[in-house]
Structure 1
Amino acid sequence: MPRFAIDPQVGTESTTWIRLRTLILLRWIAVAGQIAAILTASVWFGLALPLGACAFAVGLSVVANLVSMTVLPASYRLTSRGALLMLLFDLGQLALLLGLTGGLNNPFALLVVVPVTIAATGLTDRSTALIGAATLICTGLFSVFRLPLQLASGAEIRMPPLLEFGHAIAIVIGVGFLAIYARRVSGEIRSMSEALMATQMALAREQKLTDLGGVVAAAAHEMGTPLATIKLVSSEMIADLANRDDMADLRDDAALIRDQADRCRDILRSMGRAGKDDLHMRHAPLDTVLREAAEPHAHRGKRLIFDLHPDDGADPRQPQIRRAPEIIHGLRNLIQNAVDFAASTVWIDGQWSGDVLIVRVIDDGPGYPPSLLGRIGDPFLRPRADDGRDRPGYEGMGLGLFIAKTLLERSGATLSFANGGDPFLRQDERPVRSGAIVEVAWPQDMVTAPATGPLGENRPIEG
């Protein structure tokens, strides 16, 4: 069963991000170019153009721009419908001007593909298709209903019919090709932008949890001594009042104080275990970091097997690695993906040498679909709708592996994805598995703890 499929809906939503100012600027550039082309053709090349009609066509764009600038602020962002209407107007104005200046015999007829290209980069598929159809209709109209290009002597300038037909076919092909190309590129850019935003949100969330955990750990440490004192004093009071029947109420109150102190101690101890920014825990053995990353998924019905070993000749001691939020969150997403699709078991292997630290996450599930194996880690590759699994959150959008890959690469890692028959596993230790394999490799100096002296005392909580 394939693990991922391309989401066809990405990048097709209606948007309101096109600024009016942008289209107005493009229109002013078009107006300047049209005026320059008309003057050059009539003065320099001596063409007999209908200058009055051409001035009327150009004036339509000037008036439209002035009205737009007067009615709406330049920072106004057009809706998809508003941008569509503006582009249809520009297309009609350009088609009129081309009809007045030779139609397909005008070398600038190719500019008719500009509106559909702009539509493909910013509007919906439906709007882009509408602009494309309108472009083809306008091309047909100004190729039939046109004024001829003439010299001052009255001689007509005209392409041979074969070249004119080829010009028309080139415009038709250009409309389709540029629309599809611009749509695909802009869609991928928009998808990547949204995915990177989601990655930043995930990292910011992990950082906030880290900061909050540091406060909790410091509070647990700082409050341990006064709670121990309260418990000691209350225990002594209970002992002193043990044989005083007339002080039963005070003895019960002292017992209640001791019990509540124990409760506070247990709460702080539990909270303190979540503290992640204690100065003495900024680095930890590889096994500790891997188990911390896997902890949220340890009780989801799949067996997690940890296997850590050095390469031949390497230091047998586990390396101390950084407990950076991006490392823990990235590994956690990889483990979550493996647990989601594993049949029963997930292996989390760690291997180190003098130069490289490698972590592999392997499951015994169906593996990656071969057709998408080269694209694993791209944004918006989502699970198939018919796989019977519910994966809420980022993974529901196909961002889990993208976020993991982005965060781990930020920490200096290189990721590779493969399926079993499993070239990574040692055959003498474990049978070959057919599931998915993710290998994360760091240079040792990018992930291991620097050799420093004592970290010192944690900062006390102030305020």
Structure 2
Amino acid sequence: MSDTDLSVLPGQRRGNWIRLRTLILLRWMAITGQLTAVAIAYWGLRLDLELGLCFLLIGAAVIVNLIATFVFPETKRLSERETAALALFDILQLGLLLSLTGGLHNPFALLLLGPVTVSASVLTLRSTLLLGAVAVAAVTLLGLVHLPLRTAAGEVLRTPPVLLAGTWAALVIALVFLSIYSRRISSEMHAMSDALTATQMALAREQKLTDLGGVVAAAAHELGTPLATIKLTSAELMEELGEHPELREDAALIRDQADRCRDILRSMGRAGKEDLLVKQAPLEEIVREAVEPHEDRGKRIRHALSPACEGPQPSVLRRPEIVHGLRNLVQNAVDFARGEVRIESGWTPDRIWIRIADDGPGFPSGVLARIGEPFMRSRRSERERAQRPGYEGMGLGLFIAKTLLERSGAELTFANGGDAPRGPGGAPALRGAIVEVAWPRRKIDAVAGETPVPRGQNRPISA
């Protein structure tokens, strides 16, 4: 359904994520492990190894690390190509070292999984496929071309052919599976991070608008009397324009009231005052505020109270997340409605709800269970593109609305008109998409809820 029009989010740019210092430290750990393994195998287990060539390959990794340490600054972050190049070096260096120490007969061959799994988490699909192909080729060559492991007595340590083939297959399958698994989990985490960033941006924007409305309301409240006096006095001066001594008293009054206005503005500029009235509003007013930006978009929007309402209309908390979340849901309904959107609100002593229904095609059955997930893309027909040409289908709008409203204590129910559950107000009349937002009354009731709005005069905002 709806989406918020946002520019590229920070999490969508995956370049320059990895610090060079991080890879340097990891490689020092790998070098230490390789030296330890070679030393134990040669001097501890008395295996006949090409010690010079092994130390030559390990020394190449040491040289690369030293160059990276002294040539580049510690704060350098690697680009996509640089990260892929270092991962490729690690695969080739480890593959050559394994070829000198038994190939797939060496149990440490499973370490080839490391660079590919890490690359799948942080690199693009193209780089991951390239590194995966190189790793599979290395595993295959290690099974065919390698120096045998020999003991000091000349005995060759070999794995049975069937077990060796199984080891090759297991490594290849592990490379593919772990890469897909790591990339899938990483992509979901990045998508969630981007979506939460968008949610915070939307909430911050709504909070600024709310604060601005509070300042305007406070200014109007505080300056009402002096501005009215100035207006009245100015009118009298215009009527009595001329050289009369009594006009000096009126001019003095104008000056005094202007000074008073200046003092009030100065006081608001230093500390400000929170307007208690803008912190709460009748439920109908909250709905009206959410609907207002979409009233002139060519769709008829009707708002009615449910016949199941019990008692007087409640005054609810006017929180930015509630207003912005409802506004996104109304935007969805207007975008997909053919001609009409109906909003029904109601309350009981224990519950407050708002139901938004449209006469559009409804939610696709294939994505109904996944509604509210961020970056949920789906293919659209040409008719749908013509109906909503600017819609990208990322699912951010619903995710933002769901996240913000759930933060306020609401529960959201998504359904189509024929499948919607009957609420206290009865079954919805429209057959399109249905979204019901319901709160426990104690969560948003501004008078008798868990966080009631204080009564009395406006208070200075504490620093």
The bucket for the TM-score relative to the shorter chain is 0.7 to 0.9
Q: Which AA in structure 2 matches 1:149? A: L
Contact 1:12–1:125 (Cα < 8 Å) also in 2: no
Deviation, structure 1 residue 195: 0.9
The DSSP-based 3-state class of the residue aligned with 1:381 is coil
Q: In structure 2, how many angstroms separate the alpha carbons of the residues matched to 1:13 and 1:447?
A: 38
Contact 1:341–1:365 (Cα < 8 Å) also in 2: yes
Say if 2:312 is the partner of 1:325. no
- Aligned-pair Cα RMSD in Å: 3.1
Contact 1:422–1:432 (Cα < 8 Å) also in 2: no
Equivalent of residue 379 in structure 1, options 370, 374, 378 = 374
TM-aligned CA distance change 1:209 to 1:453, over 3 Å: closer
Q: In structure 1, how many angstroms separate the alpha carbons of the residues matched to 2:44 and 2:215?
A: 77
Q: In structure 2, how many angstroms separate the alpha carbons of the residues matched to 1:382 and 1:298?
A: 28
Deviation, structure 1 residue 296: 0.8
Q: Within 5 Å, give how 1:256-405 maps onto structure 2.
A: 278-309=275-306, 311=308, 315-382=310-377, 384=379, 386=382, 387=384, 388-390=386-388, 397-405=394-402
Q: In structure 2, how many angstroms separate the alpha carbons of the residues matched to 1:192 and 1:66?
A: 37
Deviation, structure 1 residue 366: 0.9
TM-aligned CA distance change 1:459 to 1:277, over 3 Å: closer
- List gaps (5 residues or longer) in structure 1: 258-275
Cross-structure match for 1:112: 112
Deviation, structure 1 residue 21: 1.4
Q: In structure 2, how many angstroms separate the alpha carbons of the residues matched to 1:384 and 1:225?
A: 59
Q: Which AA in structure 1 matches 2:72? A: L
* Count of equivalent residues: 427
Say if 2:206 is the partner of 1:206. yes
Deviation, structure 1 residue 460: 7.7
Contact 2:346–2:425 (Cα < 8 Å) also in 1: no
TM-aligned CA distance change 1:332 to 1:375, over 3 Å: same
Deviation, structure 1 residue 431: 6.8
Deviation digits for residues 298-323 of structure 1, max 9, x if unmatched?
22111222232374xx7421222100
- List gaps (5 residues or longer) in structure 2: 255-272
Q: Within 5 Å, give how 1:36-435 maps onto structure 2.
A: 36-240=36-240, 278-309=275-306, 311=308, 315-382=310-377, 384=379, 386=382, 387=384, 388-390=386-388, 397-425=394-422, 432-435=429-432
The DSSP-based 3-state class of the residue aligned with 1:74 is coil
TM-aligned CA distance change 1:277 to 1:213, over 3 Å: farther
Deviation digits for residues 359-395 of structure 1, max 9, x if unmatched?
22111111111111111111112575542245769x7
Contact 1:334–1:404 (Cα < 8 Å) also in 2: yes
Q: In structure 2, how many angstroms separate the alpha carbons of the residues matched to 1:338 and 1:90?
A: 53
TM-score (norm 2): 0.84
Contact 2:334–2:341 (Cα < 8 Å) also in 1: yes
Q: In structure 2, how many angstroms separate the alpha carbons of the residues matched to 1:181 and 1:427?
A: 45
Q: Which AA in structure 2 matches 1:183? A: R
Deviation digits for residues 216-267 of structure 1, max 9, x if unmatched?
11222233223322332233345446xx9x99xx9xxx9xx9xxxxxxxxxx
Q: In structure 2, how many angstroms separate the alpha carbons of the residues matched to 1:279 and 1:239?
A: 40
The DSSP-based 3-state class of the residue aligned with 1:185 is helix
Contact 1:218–1:460 (Cα < 8 Å) also in 2: no
Deviation, structure 1 residue 100: 0.5
Deviation, structure 1 residue 290: 1.1
Deviation, structure 1 residue 201: 0.7
Contact 2:276–2:454 (Cα < 8 Å) also in 1: no
Cross-structure match for 2:438: 441
